[in-house]
């Protein structure tokens, strides 16, 4: 969990909640899913090296299925302090609560869930 305690100007990380996994990336058949949701936080730092997750992610872009969120060559929202990271990875930083770029939608933080998740649900219906 990331938070900015009162009086701090940087985030503090602490334990949050855990979700049990029911399937390993290696066992996922992406044809069985309507969309792909990639969370933020620290997980992408580690998950981006998983070959099976890369296979799954490529499938959703190749088939133009809804994705929340991968960035290269896209417009995307994130917190302003990560603008550099977004731009160095080949995306365009947008400081808005919901940014849709083709089959991809993004938001800045969990505070924007009500904005970008609503759009993601509309995309799944399409």
Summarised one tens digit per residue, pLDDT across range 75-107 is: 989 888 888 988 988 899 999 999 999 999 999
Say yes or no to pLDDT of 68 above 90.
no
pLDDT of residue 72: 83
Backbone CA torsion sign across 85, 88, 94, 98:
negative
Say yes or no to pLDDT of 19 above 90.
no
Q: Is 53 exposed, middle or buried (0-12, 13-18, 19+ CB in 10 A)?
A: middle
Instruction: Kindly indicate the confidence band of residue 38, based on its pLDDT and cuts at 50, 70 and 90.
Output: confident
**Boundaries of every domain in the chain:** 2-125
Architecture of domain 2-125: 3-Layer(aba) Sandwich (3.40)
pLDDT of residue 116: 93
User: Considering the chain, what is the average pLDDT of its residues?
Assistant: 88
Q: What is the mean pLDDT of residues 53-61?
A: 93
Q: Which residue has the tokens 């503090």?
A: 12
Query: Are the C-beta atoms of 57 and 36 separated by less than 8 Å?
Result: yes
Q: What is the mean pLDDT of residues 22-26?
A: 95
């Amino acid at each position: 969990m990331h938070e900015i305690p009162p009086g701090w100007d940087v985030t503090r990380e602490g334990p949050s909640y855990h979700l049990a996994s029911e399937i390993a990336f290696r066992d996922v058949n992406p044809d069985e899913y309507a969309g792909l949701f990639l969370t933020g936080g620290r997980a992408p730092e580690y998950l981006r090296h998983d070959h099976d997750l890369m296979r799954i992610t490529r499938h959703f872009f190749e088939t133009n299925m809804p994705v929340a969120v991968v960035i290269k060559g896209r417009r995307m929202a994130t917190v302003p302090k990560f603008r550099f990271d977004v731009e160095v990875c080949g995306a365009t930083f947008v400081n808005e609560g919901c940014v849709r770029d083709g089959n991809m939608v993004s938001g800045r933080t969990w505070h924007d869930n009500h904005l970008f998740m609503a759009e993601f649900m509309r995309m799944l219906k399409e």
